[in-house]
A = this chain, B = another copy of it.
Amino acid sequence: MLSIAHQQLSRIMRPDDANIVGNVHGGTILKMIEEAGGIISTRHCNTQSGDRCVAALARVERTDFLHPMLIGEVAHVSAELTYTSRHSVEVQVNVMAENILTGSKKVTNKATLWYVPFSLQNVDKIIEVPQIEYASPEQEEEGKKRYEAQKMERLETKERNGEAIIPVISPEEYTVGFSQSSLIHLVGPSDCTLHGFVHGGVTMKLMDEVAGIVAARHCKTNIVTASVDAINFHRKIKKGCVVTVSGRMTFTSNKSMEIEVFVDADPLVETAKGKYRAVSAFFTYISLDKDGKPLPVPTLKLETQEEKKRFEEGKVRYLHTKAKRQAEQERQQ
C-alpha cells in the first residue's frame, strides 16, 4: 500500500555498513534517511501538472544518534511530509533498529530534512511546491516557524563558508603540486580475505584511482591507464587500518604521463605498530580525445631540484621501456 505522504525503507545491516566492532556507521544511516526523504519529496512535487522535477537536499537539521545499530539488525526508516513552503518541503524521518532474533526494537534517530524541487527541463529552475493539508492551524503555524528558523540559519552559514582546512598556496597549473592528490580509505570487510588481510587487488584499484585523478587534474581530458610498472607488496595490510594513497606526477613525454603512487597503512587502534609504507609503484597514463585518439600532454613544470631529479629518472624508465618495445616488435617481424 503506497501513500503519497509516507514512505518506509527497510534493509538488513551488513558487515560493510559497520566498523570492525559491528556498530553501523552513522553515515550508512544518514544515507538511508536521505534516500527516504528524496523519494517522498520528489513524489510529492510531481503530483501536479507542469514540469517534471527532482527534489534536491537543501538542509538537514541537527540529528542525534540515540542508540547504536548493529550488523544483522533490520533498519526501518520511515519518512513523512510535515510542511511545505512555496519552494521547499520539510520531511521528518524516524529510524528504528529491529533485532529479528529477539524481537527487540529501539528508535535510533529522528531527523528533519528540507528539499527544494528543481525542474528536469531546466535544472536551474525551482518549481512551486503543491501545498499539503494540515491536521490543525497550530500544526501549520509550527511548521512555518521551523521554516523561518532554518531559512535564517541557511543564509548565515552561506556567508562564512569560504575557509579552507589546510591553507593551500594555490599552486600554478602544470606543476607537480597542482595535480598532486591523496585519498584515505578505511579498510572494510569487503576489501579483505576471509582472514582479515586486504586483497592486493583492492590496493591496486585504489592506487589506480589516485593516479587517474592526478592525470586528469594535469591534462583535464579523458585519461586511461596505459601501463603499471612492477609493484612490490612489502607488508600485508590488515582489516581496520586506514590506508592513505598519495600520487604525484614525476614525468611527462609528448603523449604520456608517469605518476608515482605511495600506499601507507595506519593501524588506527593498535598504535604501537605505527604507520608504515606498504606499497609504491609507477602508473603511466595517456590522454584521449572524444574518438579515443591520443592527445598531446602538457609538459610538467618543474620547480625543485627533487622534482628535476625525479623527472630525469622517469625519462630513463620511459626510454628504456620504449627501446624494449621496439626490440620486441622487430623480433616479431
Contact = CB atoms under 8 A, between A and B. Distances in A.
Interface of A: 1-2, 7-12, 14-16, 19-21, 23, 25-28, 30-35, 38-39, 42-43, 46-47, 52-54, 56-65, 68, 71-72, 74, 76, 96, 98, 100-103, 105, 113, 120, 123, 150, 153-154, 157-158, 161-167, 173, 180-186, 188-190, 192-195, 197, 199-202, 204-210, 212-213, 216-217, 220-222, 224-234, 236, 239-240, 242, 244, 246-248, 262, 264, 266, 268-271, 275, 277, 280, 283, 288, 292, 321
A93 to B, nearest CB: 11
A281 to B, nearest CB: 8
The interface residues of chain A, by DSSP majority, are classed as mixed
A213 B167 contact: no
B240 A194 contact: yes
B184 A216 contact: no
A297 to B, nearest CB: 15
A65 B227 contact: yes
A269 to B, nearest CB: 5
A310 B96 CA distance: 31
Contacts of A180: 165-166
5 contacts: A39-B100, A54-B195, A56-B233, A189-B190, A216-B269
Copies in the complex: 3
Given A11-B11, A31-B204, 6 more contacts: A7-B10, A9-B11, A38-B200, A53-B101, A120-B269, A216-B268
A72 B113 CA distance: 21
A210 B25 CA distance: 11
Contacts of A19: 72, 212, 222, 224
Nearest to A6: B1
A271 B35 CA distance: 19
Contacts of A76: 2
Contacts of A204: 27, 30-31, 34, 60
The residue among A57, A167, A206, A239 with the most chain B CB atoms within 10 A of its own CB is: A57
A181 B10 contact: yes
A199 B183 CA distance: 20
Contact of A271 (B27, B47, B181, B280): B47
Nearest to A180: B165
Nearest to A113: B200
A101 to B, nearest CB: 4
Given A14-B16, A208-B27, A7 B56 contact: no
Nearest to A111: B228
B165 A34 contact: no
A183 B208 CA distance: 15
